[in-house]
Amino acid sequence: MAPVAGGAKLTDRIDAFQRRHPASAFPLAVVYKFADDRGPHLAALMAYYGFVSVFPLLLLLVSVLGFVLAPFSGADPELSGRAVTTTIDALAGVPVLGSALQGSITGLRGSGVALTIGALGTLYGGMGVMQATQAALNRIYAVPRYKQPNPVLSRLRSIVLMLALGVLALLATAISVVLPEVADAVPVGGGLLLAAGTLVPFAINTCIFVVVFRVLTAVRLGWRNVAIGALVAAGLWEGLQTAFARLAGAYLQHAGDVYGVFGVVLGLLAWLYLQSMALVLAAEINVVRQRRLYPRALLTPFTDDVDLTPQDVRAYTGYARSETYKGFETVTASFDKDAAAGGDEPTTHPAEDDDGERAGAGSRAAG
């Protein structure tokens, strides 16, 4: 793209600078890949299913606690209520959320109907989250459609992973709740226990994201391929949890009954959406780093009047490859701006996997 004005020259200089320096080229490539994959839409779908599963999960939790604590309710009638509030607060990381939600579900404590509804709703919502996450990760990694798991296998994988991640999440929550209490009770070593109460859940959350990235993506990924993104996701998770807890503590405590309900609902949606965005962004960091999809052309999202980098070509070719539905289907992509403008036959590039194998190499039909 030949510069013709001062403004164009400035953009050319900025583009040349960011291409030469990985410190600027890498984050720009992550942002562009995030936009190319429609990251906000992927996160919104994950947040929707997460929101659908929240209240059934709470019903299930309340019902189970009601049955478990029923023998002790005679000695302490408020025991079950305190347990529900504390558990919800710990799971969400928001000190006020448990008390805000408990009043809406108190009457269902220990109910068999609530147990059934909660189990079914949690299964539906949780599987939806896993399915949406699988679809998002496969889109981010440009996995061809014919290489993605079939509907039955993907759902079985979702159920197994959902149960495993649930156990790890409960373990992280239990540690974050128990260790601070122990630190307050013991006279020596309380500081170390408080530090462990922060670091151990962070490590567990990092492991959770490593498992999610490796299991739910239909490509072979090593530990090193996903470690950076898992650390970023765990860090964003903890940071968002802390920020949301402070905001909720500042506003929900002083909200009225009506505004408090709206605040809880909107707060949950915002919380789940931001967490989903963190997961998608971390996955983009992984794929851009692993496949070295940087530098990108500065103006490539905004205009066709741009000279693509080889990484632009690889990224756009991958998007075309991801729409391959059959193993015997051949997909090619053309990137010849001058030939297209002059009516000549553009140069075509076969869509390739990372190992150099053509997508749908079984077909040799002329395109």
The partner residues of 358 in beta bridges, in order of sequence, read 352
Greater confidence, 54 or 155? 155
User: Which residue reads 């070509």 in tokens?
Assistant: 313
**Residue 176 reports pLDDT greater than 70:** no
The partner residues of 349 in beta bridges, in order of sequence, read 333
Contact of 24 with 18, CB cutoff 8 Å: yes
Closest CA to 140 of 326, 285, 314, 338: 285
**Residue 73 reports pLDDT greater than 60:** no
Contact of 282 with 230, CB cutoff 8 Å: yes
Long-range contacts of 84-87 (CB under 8 A, 24+ apart): 84/109, 86/177, 87/61
**Residue 149 reports pLDDT greater than 60:** yes
Q: Using pLDDT thresholds of 50, 70 and 90, give the confidence band for residue 38.
A: very high
How confident is the model over 121-148, as pLDDT tens digits?
878 888 888 999 999 999 999 999 999 9
Q: What is the pTM of this model?
A: 0.79
d(CA 55, CA 122): 8
d(CA 94, CA 250): 11
Q: Using pLDDT thresholds of 50, 70 and 90, give the confidence band for residue 104.
A: low
Q: Write the CA distances from 339 to 170, 258, 301, 313, integer angstroms.
A: 58, 63, 21, 16
